[in-house]
C-alpha cells in the first residue's frame, strides 16, 4: 500500500491512528513533533504525511506542510485538526495535494481521504 | 434731661458731686467704674441728671455724659420697637431689673451690639425715677454667632439640597436624618426614614459587605471608607450605590454621628454589566474555537480507538488490542470531562470580593498546596520574602490559585532535583511576585501563546491549557500585570506586578460587593 508518516503530538490520537493504518496494510511511522517528523522524512521517504495542524512545537501546520514539501516534492498531505475549518480552508487552497480532515473522523472517512490524496496528481516540484 | 455734670470723665468729681467728703468705699467704687470695660450710666429722671463712666464715652465715641434722649434716638431702627416695648413693659412692672440686647449707633454712625443690664427705680408702675445700668459690647460675640448661623445655614442647604444622598447615622446604625436626595434615591418620604436601621434598607446579600470596615471605622482604626453596595428601594427595586462613610466625633473622640454619603451608581453598573456581556460574547467566539479543538481531539481518539477495537473483534487473539483501545476510549472520555470542568471554572465571571490581605501568608499557603506534586516530581519549592509586605487588596482564594498555577507549571517544567523559586518583593508603590524555574523552558512561539485559552505544553499529562488564562484573568481583575520570559533549556520566569492600592494605606478600604463564594 502506501508509506504514511503521522505527525501528531497527542499519543491518544497518534497510537490508534497508527494501529488502524497498519491494519489497513500501510507502512506507518509516527512522529510526536514537527522536528521529529522532519527528521524522519529523508530516511522514510513517505508517500503521504498526516499532520496535526497545531503541534506543540509548531503552531501552524501549514508551515510544517511547506517544510516537508520542500524536502520531498512528491509528498502528499492530510492536515487534521480539531479546530473549526473555516480559517484553514482559505490557506489550504494555495497548498496543492493537501486534504483536510476535521477531527473527529471515522476510519471510513480517513480511508476515503487517503485514497483521494494518493490518487491526486503529484504536486509539481 | 440735660446733664449737669460738667466733667463726666472725672469719676471722682461726679461721684462725689452731691455729697460731702470721700470715703474708702467711694474710692473703691470710683476705681472700679474706671477699671470696668462696661459702659456704666445713671439717668436720674427726677433731677434731670445724666452720668456716665469713661468706658461709656469710649464706647459711643464722644466725650461727655450721654442723656436718656441720646439713648432713645440712637437705637437701631430695626431693634427700636422691640427694645422700647420691653422697656415699657419693665417700667409697668415697677422697680426692678431690665435686660435687653440691641444695636446702638455710635457718634461716627457705626452700630455696636450691646447687652444692656439696668436697674429701674420707679415711684409707681410706669413712673420711672432713675435708671442705672451697664452696657457690655457684645459685637464680637454677635459676629461669631452670625457667622456660625450662616455656616450652619450653608451646611443645612448643602445637606438638604445637595446632589448626593446624605444621612446622619447613629453609631448603632440607625438613620437620624436623611436629605432629600437620599430619600429620593430610596423612594421614601423624608419623614419615613429617621429611626430606620441601615440593615433594613441594605440589600440582604450586601449586608455584610462593609461590616468589617464599619467596625474598624467606629473603633477609630480607619477615618472612613468607601464601598459599592446594593440598597433596596421602598418598592423592593435594587439600587447600586457608592457609600462613603465617615465619623463626626466630639472633642473627647466619642462618635456623635456617622455621616453617610450615597451616590447612585446604578446606571454606571448597568453600563459596565452590558460592556462585560459584550466582551463575554466576543470571548465566547474565541473560546468556542478553542473548546472545539480541545474536545474534538479526544473525541477523535474515541472514534478511532472504537474503529481499532471493532477491527480487532474480527481477528482471533486480539484481546490486548481491544483492551488497549477501550483504555484509550476511557482516558479520552475522562479528558473531555476535565475539559468541561475547566471551562466552567474559566467561564465564571463574577467580580470577586477583595480586601487587604497579607500576600506572604497567601504565598506560604500556595507553597503548602503544591508540596505533593513537588514531592512527586522531586522538585524543591523555595519561598523567599525579601521585604515586609504591605497589605494588598485582593481575593486571597484567587491569589492563591494564581500562585498555585504558576508553581505547578514551574514544577512540571523542572527536572528532579532542581528548584522552583517563589520570591516576593515590595518596592515603592508596587509588589512583585516572581516564580522562577530552571527547567526545560519554552520557545518564543510557545511564550507568545502562553495566555491563550487551551494552549498547553503538557498534552500528555492532563494539562488543560486554561491555568494561565485563568491566572491572567485574576491578575487583571486585581489591577496587576503578568509577564512570562523563557528560553528553551534555560527555564522560565513569571513576573507579576501589583500596584499597592491607595485605599488601605490611607485608611480607606475599597470593597467589592459579591459575597464570598
Report the alpha-carbon distance of residue A65 to residue A38 in Å, rounded: 10
Chain B: give the shortest CA distance to residue A124, in Å: 31
Q: Which residue has the cell 504565598?
A: B363
Query: Is A12–B295 a contact, with Cβ atoms under 8 angstroms apart?
Result: no
Query: How many Cβ contacts (< 8 angstroms) between chains A and B?
Result: 83
Q: pLDDT digit of tens for each residue in chain B (517 aa)?
A: 334 444 444 433 344 344 445 688 888 888 888 888 899 999 999 988 999 998 898 888 878 888 899 999 999 999 999 999 999 999 999 999 999 999 999 989 999 999 999 999 999 888 999 999 999 999 898 889 989 999 888 888 888 888 889 999 998 889 999 999 999 999 998 888 888 888 888 888 887 778 888 888 988 888 899 999 999 988 888 999 999 999 999 888 899 999 999 999 989 888 888 888 877 776 677 677 777 877 888 898 899 999 889 888 887 778 888 998 999 899 889 888 877 777 776 666 556 778 888 999 999 989 988 888 899 899 999 999 987 888 898 988 889 889 998 999 999 899 999 999 999 998 888 999 999 999 999 888 788 878 877 666 654 444 556 778 888 888 988 889 999 999 999 999 999 999 886 544 333 334 433 333 3
In this structure, what DSSP letter does residue A55 have? B
Strand-by-strand arrangement of the A27-31 sheet: A27-31, A3-7, A48-52, A76-81, A98-102
Query: Which H or E element spans position B14?
Result: helix B11-15
Report the alpha-carbon distance of residue B8 to residue B28 in Å, rounded: 18
**What is residue B445's predicted lDDT score, i.e. its pLDDT?**
78
Q: Of A15, A84, A105, which has the smallest distance from its Cβ to B300's Cβ? A: A105
Strand-by-strand arrangement of the B49-52 sheet: B49-52, B39-44, B127-137, B111-124, B96-105
Residue numbers in A near B486 (CB within 8 A): none
The answer to whether the beta carbons of residues A59 and B447 sit under 8 Å apart is no
In this structure, what DSSP letter does residue B36 have? -
**What is residue B244's predicted lDDT score, i.e. its pLDDT?**
93
Query: Which H or E element spans position B255?
Result: strand B255-264
Q: Of A11, A23, A83, which has the smallest distance from its Cβ to B460's Cβ? A: A11
Q: DSSP letters along B307-346, please?
A: HHHHHHHHSTT-HHHHHHHHHHHHHHHHHHHHHHHHHHHH
Question: What are the grid coordinates assigned to B233, written together?
Answer: 428601594
Which of residues B73 and A63 earns the better pLDDT score? B73
A9 class by beta-carbon count within 10 Å (0-12 exposed, 13-18 middle, 19+ buried): buried
The answer to whether the beta carbons of residues B400 and B369 sit under 8 Å apart is yes
Pairing relationship of beta strands B491-499 and B481-487 according to DSSP bridges = antiparallel
Q: Of A9, A80, A104, which has the smallest distance from its Cβ to B303's Cβ? A: A104
Interface residue A103 vs chain B (CB under 8 A): yes
How far separated are the first and last CA of chain B, in Å rounded? 91
Question: What are the grid coordinates assigned to B204, written together?
Answer: 440582604
Closest to B343 (Cα-Cα) out of B478, B456, B453: B453
Distances (CA, A) of B237 to B179, B242, B267, B269: 20, 16, 14, 15
Burial call B108-125: b when 16+ CB within 10 Å, e when fewer: eeebbbbbbebebbbeee
Report the alpha-carbon distance of residue B30 to residue B308 in Å, rounded: 130
Report the alpha-carbon distance of residue B292 to residue B284 in Å, rounded: 12
Assess whether the previous peptide bond of A104 is cis (omega < 30° from 0): yes
Distances (CA, A) of B209 to B42, B206, B239, B396: 71, 5, 15, 16
Domains, chain B, in order of start with CATH, read 14-139 (3.30.450.20), 162-264 (3.30.450.20), 272-348 (1.10.287.130), 355-499 (3.30.565.10)
Report the alpha-carbon distance of residue B230 to residue B351 in Å, rounded: 14
Distances (CA, A) of B162 to A93, B175, B178, B195, B263: 68, 18, 11, 22, 11
Q: Looking at B16-125, list the stretches that DSSP marks H as alpha helix, in order from N- to C-terminal side.
A: 24-35, 54-60, 68-74, 80-93
Residue numbers in B near A81 (CB within 8 A): 293, 296
Residue partners of B434: CB distance under 8 A and separation at least 6: B421, B422, B423, B425, B493, B494, B495, B496
Decide: pTM greater than 0.95: no
Closest to A24 (Cα-Cα) out of A43, A45, A6: A6
Query: Is B328–A105 a contact, with Cβ atoms under 8 angstroms apart?
Result: no
Query: Is B304–A13 a contact, with Cβ atoms under 8 angstroms apart?
Result: yes
Q: Of A12, A57, A83, which has the smallest distance from its Cβ to B293's Cβ? A: A83
The answer to whether the beta carbons of residues B405 and B468 sit under 8 Å apart is yes
B89 class by beta-carbon count within 10 Å (0-12 exposed, 13-18 middle, 19+ buried): exposed
Report the alpha-carbon distance of residue B72 to residue B104 in Å, rounded: 9
Query: Is A12–B335 a contact, with Cβ atoms under 8 angstroms apart?
Result: yes
**What is residue B3's predicted lDDT score, i.e. its pLDDT?**
42
Query: Is B303–A83 a contact, with Cβ atoms under 8 angstroms apart?
Result: no
Summarize the confidence of residues A43-65 as an average pLDDT.
82
Chain B: give the shortest CA distance to residue A20, in Å: 6
Helix, strand, coil proportions of chain B in percent (round to 5)? 45, 25, 30
Question: What are the grid coordinates assigned to A44, written together?
Answer: 522514510
Q: Which residue has the cell 497508527?
A: A18
Query: Is B457–A56 a contact, with Cβ atoms under 8 angstroms apart?
Result: yes
Q: Which residue has the cell 503541534?
A: A55
**What is residue B458's predicted lDDT score, i.e. its pLDDT?**
54
Which residue in chain A is spatially nearest to B458 when comparing CA positions? A56
Residue partners of B484: CB distance under 8 A and separation at least 6: B447, B450, B468, B492, B493, B494, B495
- Dihedral angle, C-alpha A13, A15, A19, A20, nearest 10 °: 10
Amino acid at each position: 500500500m502506501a508509506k504514511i508518516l503521522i505527525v501528531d503530538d497527542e499519543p491518544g490520537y497518534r497510537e490508534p491512528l497508527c494501529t488502524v493504518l497498519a491494519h489497513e496494510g500501510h507502512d506507518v511511522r509516527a512522529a510526536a513533533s514537527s522536528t521529529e517528523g522532519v527528521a524522519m522524512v529523508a530516511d522514510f521517504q513517505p508517500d503521504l504525511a498526516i499532520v496535526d495542524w497545531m503541534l506543540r512545537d509548531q503552531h501552524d501546520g501549514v508551515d510544517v506542510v511547506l517544510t516537508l514539501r520542500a524536502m520531498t516534492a512528491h509528498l502528499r498531505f492530510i492536515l487534521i485538526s480539531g479546530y473549526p475549518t473555516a480559517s484553514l480552508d482559505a490557506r489550504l487552497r494555495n497548498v496543492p495535494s493537501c486534504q483536510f480532515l476535521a477531527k473527529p473522523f471515522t476510519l471510513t472517512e480517513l480511508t476515503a481521504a487517503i485514497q483521494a490524496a494518493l490518487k491526486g496528481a503529484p504536486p509539481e516540484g | 434731661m440735660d446733664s449737669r455734670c460738667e466733667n463726666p470723665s472725672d469719676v471722682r468729681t461726679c461721684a462725689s458731686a452731691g455729697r460731702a467728703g470721700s470715703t474708702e468705699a467711694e474710692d473703691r467704687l470710683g476705681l472700679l467704674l474706671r477699671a470696668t470695660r462696661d459702659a456704666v450710666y445713671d439717668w436720674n429722671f427726677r433731677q434731670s441728671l445724666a452720668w456716665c463712666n469713661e468706658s461709656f464715652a469710649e464706647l459711643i465715641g464722644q466725650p461727655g455724659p450721654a442723656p436718656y434722649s441720646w439713648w432713645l434716638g440712637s437705637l437701631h431702627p430695626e431693634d427700636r420697637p422691640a427694645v422700647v416695648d420691653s422697656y415699657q413693659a419693665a417700667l409697668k412692672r415697677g422697680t426692678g431689673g431690665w435686660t435687653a440686647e440691641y444695636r446702638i449707633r455710635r457718634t461716627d454712625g457705626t452700630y455696636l451690639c450691646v447687652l444692656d443690664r439696668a436697674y429701674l427705680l420707679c415711684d409707681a408702675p410706669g413712673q420711672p425715677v432713675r435708671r442705672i445700668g451697664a452696657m457690655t459690647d457684645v459685637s464680637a460675640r454677635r459676629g461669631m454667632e452670625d457667622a456660625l448661623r450662616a455656616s450652619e445655614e450653608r451646611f443645612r442647604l448643602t445637606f438638604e439640597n445637595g446632589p448626593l444622598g446624605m444621612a446622619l447615622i447613629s453609631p448603632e446604625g440607625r438613620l437620624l436624618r436623611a436629605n432629600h436626595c437620599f430619600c429620593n434615591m430610596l423612594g421614601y418620604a423624608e419623614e419615613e426614614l429617621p429611626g430606620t436601621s441601615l440593615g433594613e434598607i441594605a440589600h440582604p446579600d450586601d449586608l455584610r459587605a462593609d461590616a468589617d470596615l464599619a467596625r474598624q471605622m467606629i473603633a477609630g482604626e480607619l477615618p472612613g471608607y468607601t464601598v459599592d453596595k446594593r440598597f433596596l428601594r421602598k418598592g423592593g427595586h435594587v439600587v447600586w450605590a457608592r457609600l462613603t462613610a465617615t465619623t463626626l466625633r466630639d472633642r473627647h473622640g466619642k462618635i456623635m454621628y456617622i455621616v453617610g454619603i450615597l451616590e447612585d451608581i446604578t446606571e454606571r453598573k448597568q453600563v459596565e454589566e452590558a460592556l462585560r456581556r459584550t466582551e463575554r460574547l466576543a470571548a465566547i467566539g474565541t473560546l468556542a474555537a478553542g473548546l472545539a479543538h480541545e474536545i474534538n481531539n479526544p473525541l477523535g481518539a474515541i472514534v478511532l480507538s472504537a474503529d481499532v477495537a471493532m477491527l480487532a473483534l474480527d481477528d482471533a487473539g486480539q484481546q490486548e488490542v481491544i483492551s488497549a483501545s477501550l483504555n484509550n476510549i476511557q482516558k479520552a472520555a475522562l479528558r473531555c470531562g476535565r475539559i468541561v470542568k475547566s471551562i466552567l471554572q474559566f467561564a465564571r465571571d463574577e467580580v470577586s470580593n477583595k480586601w487587604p490581605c497579607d500576600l506572604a501568608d497567601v504565598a506560604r499557603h500556595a507553597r503548602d498546596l503544591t508540596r505533593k506534586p513537588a514531592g512527586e516530581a522531586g522538585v524543591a519549592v523555595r519561598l523567599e520574602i525579601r521585604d515586609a509586605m504591605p497589605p494588598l487588596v485582593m481575593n486571597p482564594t484567587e491569589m492563591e490559585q494564581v500562585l498555585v498555577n504558576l508553581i505547578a507549571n514551574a514544577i512540571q517544567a523542572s527536572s528532579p532535583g532542581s528548584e522552583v523559586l517563589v520570591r516576593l518583593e515590595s518596592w515603592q508603590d508596587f509588589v512583585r511576585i516572581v516564580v522562577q524555574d530552571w527547567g526545560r523552558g519554552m520557545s518564543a512561539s510557545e511564550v507568545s501563546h502562553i495566555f491563550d485559552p487551551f494552549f498547553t505544553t503538557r498534552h500528555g499529562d492532563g494539562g488543560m491549557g486554561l491555568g494561565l488564562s485563568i491566572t491572567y484573568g485574576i491578575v487583571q481583575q486585581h489591577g496587576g500585570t503578568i509577564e512570562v520570559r523563557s528560553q528553551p533549556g534555560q527555564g522560565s520566569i513569571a513576573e507579576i506586578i501589583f500596584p499597592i492600592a491607595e485605599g488601605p494605606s490611607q485608611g480607606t478600604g475599597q470593597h467589592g460587593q459579591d459575597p464570598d463564594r
